[in-house]
Structure 1
Amino acid sequence: MQFAPRRKWNLLIKSSNKDGFFLESLDLYSSLLKSGCHGDHLTFTFVVKACAQLASLWSGRKVQSHVILLGFQSDVFVQTSLLDMYSKCSSLSEARQLFDEMPSKSVVSWNSMISAYAKEFQTQESFRHFNEMRSCCFRPTSSTCVSLVSGCSGSTSALQQGQSVHCFGTKLGFHSDLRLWNSILTMYVRFNLIDDAISLFDSMKERSAITYTTIFGGYAKLGDCLMVLNLFNQIRLKQIGLDAIVFVNLISSCALLGRLLIASSVLSLLIRNGLDCEPNVAAAVVNMFAKCGDIFSARKFFDSVTKKDVLLWTSMIGGYVHADLSRTALDLFEDMISTDLPPNKITIITILSACAAIGSLSAAEQIFEHIDAYGFKSDLQTQTSLIHMYCKCGCLERAEEIFNALSHKDLAAWSSMINCYAFNGKGEESLALFKEMLKDKSIKPDAVVFTDVLSACNHYGLVEEGLKFFTSMQLQYGIEPSKEHYSCMVDLLSRAGYIDSSLEFISRVPVQLRSQLWTPFLSALRTSNGAQLENILPNRWEVESESTGNHVLLAGISASLGKWKDARDFRMSIDKRGLRKEAGWSRTELYS
């Protein structure tokens, strides 16, 4: 074998590449060298391709040194292969250096360089090379367009450039290139332009499994669960291969729908297709059953999986938190730790939310030890979750300590600390911190932080401040008020004694949200004087709803006015409507 002619070695290496045995290709090349032969331009093209497929930068550099020693550095095919290899190994600087030194360039060379920048999402550089390529009189191919579109991500300008490629591809007549249209379809889904993606999908005469999978994911992102189910049925009728990605999107939609019967049917399909134990799929199934309110089935499926990864454990822990079984979530977390499987950041954040839900400081301290042990202590998201957890546990000092120690504070960190002060009745400190945050012009407040600010105004009775923030939220920051914002304002005005202003405010709220604002209003009324109650109570039928709390409040208000018949009627209506008053509960933690 070692004396076989070079042509035979080339055929062996080429065949090995074709079969996907890239390590064997490198071994064959090594044997070729040991036999006393050296490669030619075809040998180097095949071997460099193997290095690229293995993402072996060290092997690729070694082969390039052989190329230079044997004088093949001017061969355009060898140079292009090396350029493609450096691109696939994410060595952009070496790819660029090689490209600049090439004595002659082909369309493939330009495409490789454009692809290299696109893979690193350096959109401006990829388009700069595209324009330079055209100025050098090279005609772009559909592969050029695919590379350009794949690198369009993140910014509005990148989207606009991607849309220009769509127009350019149409102009050049690439209508039949399915790979290009699939790339453009993926780009539109990535930018959440689902309507544009659907329009493109409908216009496509040819579709592949990738086409259906992409638009399937688009409908899933849109939250159109019924369309996801409809499209899934189309995929099955067309006998398109069902892969894990399709099922993850389908399962996510079932979780949003919350229909247990459909969830059970999906699980049967998964088992039939042999995908039920795929890591991403298994975790999604657990999440689906938890969101459908069947935590028992979620745990049953979890226990059936023999090889549990961190994603599956995290999904089951999150399922218990979602089902308000945070103590069980903590126990499961300890079971996970006992298997010597290290948690990831999402696991830690999920279990911190469990500690926050039950307000257990002792559990919080145990989790804090795990955070330190697994190296998440400096992670900003984890630190923000810690602030939230200590807030719910009533340990304001620890939350302040963590917040003040942060070297960089994003909106989530500021929001958590502002909420912490508001939650613990420190309205003045909460507002002071919000004003301090506004000094950082790089941070734009969102709807969540304004909810915390309005809540702080409410706890502190700052009516004028609350009105000012509510107005600036809309006019200055363009945030549309939600139910939470309206509730804070109604509570603030009512508790401050501005009953008429509160009623006027409720009358201006969108009708679909108005019925949900009577609970804070009625709660505040209980502390008002009798004359005000006497004037307002005749409108009681307007405030009745399916809320048990509203009926109880109305009964209490009627009783305080001596209207015992009305009080009895409100109490009786709870039974007539089949409503049930949830029992209150409290928790006391004992320390030895």
Structure 2
Amino acid sequence: MQSHLQYLTKPLPLQTWNRMIWASTRNGSYLETLHLYSSMLRSGVHGDGFTFPFVAKACAKLRSVRDGRKLHGHALLMGFQGNPFVQTSLMDMYSKCYNLSDARQLFDEMPSRGLVAWNSMISAYSQDFQINKSFKLLNELRALGLRPTSSTCVSLVSGCAGSVAALMHGLSVHCYGIKVGFHSDLRFSNSILSMYAWFGHVDDACSLFDSMEEKSIITWTAMAGGFLRVGDSMNVFDLFNQMRGANINPDSAAFINLIYAGILTGKSSIACAIHSVLISSGFDQKVDIAPLLLTLYSKCGELTSAREVFDSMLDKDVILWTSMISGYVQGGLSSEALVLSEELLSSNVKPNKVTILTVLSACADSGSLNFGEKIGEYVMENELQSDLRVQTALIYMYCKCGNIERAKDIFDGVSAKDITMWSTMIKGYACHGKGKEALALFEEMQREETVKPDAILFTEVLLACTHSGLVEEGLQCFINMQKDYGVDPSIEHYLCIVDLLARAGHFGSALRFINNMPIQARNQMLSPLLSACRTHHDNQFGELVSEQLIRLKPQNTGNYVLMSNVYASLGKWKEVIGLRNSINRRGLIKEPGWSRIELNS
């Protein structure tokens, strides 16, 4: 009995620990790897050149730089600073944990660097899109007489995104790869193809795709991604069919491309066809596919089908809930979005920031102050109030639901405001007819000099002036916008000034302003001018404007109604009947206006 107890309490040999650490890392059980390593140390056994790389990989996957530093210290104490495999694995760990300075320091201190170390450091810079540093390392590598491998080139190309300069670097790598014979390497070709697809160079991507003798699922999905980048959904569908004809089984990435192509078409028939393919392939219940399928149906106006997909999912995560709520909001069904939000709050799923933003948008659209306040309480309870986007959404919701005072309280409680928050609060004042308060807030923002006004913010300021009849202030703002901030007027800015002058009864000034603006903007200015003529009972001027408006926009029902009202004010009943008959003859429909208020929650 005693001998058996001695056997059971005897420390495990290093070889056994290494086998367990290797197995847990290979299976993706990275936390278990760290636990095993800690247990090994507590038992008095220390790692070797086999142990450290696997534990370093676990630290990298978990993005745990704290555990990685401890491992680095252990490796130094055990005398492995000269082991290239251990040092390279630690360097890779630092780079994966977004700590490039420590990775580079380790690289510089390595007594001897093999190609694996060079490739790892080049890859680290490329993954961080520091393309100039990665190519500088490449030149140093070649100066030492070392020859880049295809892995080196793949690492370099992975960072070639986002700028013309990066594309030129990528083209040079492609040329070099062809010269030294890497074009037959599938990983190299896939990386070049992905680069062309990213930049939207579909013709170059197609040429490479057609020339490749061997293609993997990555090849097909990269090519489909290139077509999506330029909005070519039909070629995505053709490519998907070719891929299946070549007996390549689609993966999640391929189906995601297919769904995005369906979203581009906006056709419900295509959405149904994609759904049937997903069902037959067994991908319809995948957690990364189902939310996109909801979005597909929602974008195609098939919210009933989207809800059926939602209800069919047994395990609903926060992304699925958010997708369904967002579909209702975008489809104009804010009440349904709020009902579903109530169900979410009663479930075991915890809403994230994106969910909160979506629900607050639904509250604003439906004017549901009661539920909006409930979301505000949830934000406070879950300590989300420090997020600028959430705070801005709360301000917008309170403004839209009529509680401008609460919106201002939240606004005043934020120390570092961005331009979106300033614009939202100014817009809130504008919608409530508080032009002077909006202008005071705008002046406060200018005094702080932390945010530079943009075109959107100036639109909100001009709207505030328009709704409050502040003619001089609005005209001065329009001048300062161009003179002091270099913002060129857009259609929205011109509309604000025309509306501002017309509402104040300055029809001559408004007309002169219209005649002096760019030709392409003039046609859109007549509607606010005509509306103001009606308000000020200047029917003679309104008749001239309405006749011109009908000639320019014969399909706009609202223009016929406005002109009919002008004729009615002038007592021209024959013309009124003629306009009403024109509306019926052209098959035009006047949609009724509607408002929504909340009573007793």
Structure 2 length-normalised TM: 0.82
Instruction: Within 5 Å, give how 1:180-579 maps onto structure 2.
Output: 180-187=188-195, 193-194=199-200, 196=201, 198-204=203-209, 205-206=211-212, 207-438=215-446, 443-463=451-471, 466=474, 483-499=491-507, 502=510, 517-526=525-534, 527-539=536-548, 541-579=550-588
Contact 1:493 1:502 in 2 (8 A): yes
Residues 485 and 83 of structure 1: CA distance in aligned 2, closer, same or farther (over 3 Å): same
Residues 139 and 442 of structure 1: CA distance in aligned 2, closer, same or farther (over 3 Å): farther
Matched with 2:4 is none
Query: What letter corresponds to residue 363 of structure 1 in structure 2?
Result: F
Deviation at 1:317, TM superposition (A): 1.0
Query: What letter corresponds to residue 334 of structure 1 in structure 2?
Result: E
Instruction: Within 5 Å, give how 1:43-192 maps onto structure 2.
Output: 71-90=79-98, 92=100, 94-123=102-131, 125-151=133-159, 156=163, 160-161=165-166, 163-171=168-176, 173=179, 174-187=182-195
Residues 258 and 411 of structure 1: CA distance in aligned 2, closer, same or farther (over 3 Å): same
Contact 2:227 2:236 in 1 (8 A): yes
Contact 2:25 2:58 in 1 (8 A): no
Contact 2:14 2:47 in 1 (8 A): no
Deviation at 1:259, TM superposition (A): 1.1
Deviations along 1:66-120, one digit per CA (max 9) or x if unpaired, are 7556655423334334433444455545534432332111222122223234444
The separation in 1 between residues aligned to 2:486 and 2:150, in whole angstroms, is: 42
The separation in 2 between residues aligned to 1:10 and 1:341, in whole angstroms, is: 39
The separation in 2 between residues aligned to 1:316 and 1:43, in whole angstroms, is: 47
The separation in 1 between residues aligned to 2:237 and 2:478, in whole angstroms, is: 41
The separation in 1 between residues aligned to 2:508 and 2:224, in whole angstroms, is: 51
Contact 1:434 1:453 in 2 (8 A): yes
Contact 2:21 2:36 in 1 (8 A): no
Contact 1:9 1:32 in 2 (8 A): no
Structure 1 length-normalised TM: 0.84
The separation in 2 between residues aligned to 1:367 and 1:25, in whole angstroms, is: 41
The separation in 2 between residues aligned to 1:501 and 1:234, in whole angstroms, is: 63
Of 30-39 and 295-304, deviating more is: 30-39
Query: What letter corresponds to residue 270 of structure 1 in structure 2?
Result: L
Deviation at 1:424, TM superposition (A): 1.2
Contact 1:220 1:250 in 2 (8 A): no
Give SS of 1:350's match.
Answer: helix
The separation in 1 between residues aligned to 2:158 and 2:151, in whole angstroms, is: 11
Q: How many residues align?
A: 584
The separation in 2 between residues aligned to 1:478 and 1:182, in whole angstroms, is: 45
Residues 25 and 128 of structure 1: CA distance in aligned 2, closer, same or farther (over 3 Å): same
Give SS of 1:403's match.
Answer: helix
Contact 1:421 1:429 in 2 (8 A): yes
Residues 65 and 555 of structure 1: CA distance in aligned 2, closer, same or farther (over 3 Å): closer
Contact 2:361 2:397 in 1 (8 A): yes
Give SS of 2:332's match.
Answer: coil
The separation in 1 between residues aligned to 2:158 and 2:406, in whole angstroms, is: 45
Of 455-464 and 386-395, deviating more is: 455-464
Deviations along 1:508-561, one digit per CA (max 9) or x if unpaired, are 878887665543233122124233235445436415533322221111011111
Instruction: Within 5 Å, give how 1:2-81 maps onto structure 2.
Output: 20=27, 41=49, 71-81=79-89
The separation in 1 between residues aligned to 2:547 and 2:45, in whole angstroms, is: 102
Deviation at 1:381, TM superposition (A): 0.1
Deviation at 1:19, TM superposition (A): 6.5
Residues 265 and 479 of structure 1: CA distance in aligned 2, closer, same or farther (over 3 Å): farther
The separation in 1 between residues aligned to 2:380 and 2:390, in whole angstroms, is: 11
Of 582-591 and 390-399, deviating more is: 582-591
Give SS of 2:82's match.
Answer: coil
Deviation at 1:303, TM superposition (A): 0.6
Residues 418 and 337 of structure 1: CA distance in aligned 2, closer, same or farther (over 3 Å): same
Contact 1:543 1:550 in 2 (8 A): no
Match of 2:593 among 574, 581, 584: 584
Give SS of 2:377's match.
Answer: helix
Query: What letter corresponds to residue 402 of structure 2 in structure 1?
Result: G
Query: Which runs of no fewer than 5 residues in structure 2 stay unpaired?
Result: 1-6
The separation in 1 between residues aligned to 2:22 and 2:262, in whole angstroms, is: 45
Give SS of 1:280's match.
Answer: coil
The separation in 2 between residues aligned to 1:37 and 1:253, in whole angstroms, is: 56
Deviation at 1:126, TM superposition (A): 4.1
Deviation at 1:301, TM superposition (A): 1.4
The separation in 2 between residues aligned to 1:435 and 1:221, in whole angstroms, is: 42
Of 266-275 and 36-45, deviating more is: 36-45
The separation in 2 between residues aligned to 1:412 and 1:7, in whole angstroms, is: 58
Contact 2:546 2:559 in 1 (8 A): no
The separation in 1 between residues aligned to 2:402 and 2:219, in whole angstroms, is: 51
Deviation at 1:179, TM superposition (A): 3.0
Deviations along 1:148-195, one digit per CA (max 9) or x if unpaired, are 4434566x5xx62453243144235344444345445545665xx32x
Residues 461 and 256 of structure 1: CA distance in aligned 2, closer, same or farther (over 3 Å): farther
Contact 2:495 2:525 in 1 (8 A): yes
Query: What letter corresponds to residue 202 of structure 1 in structure 2?
Result: S
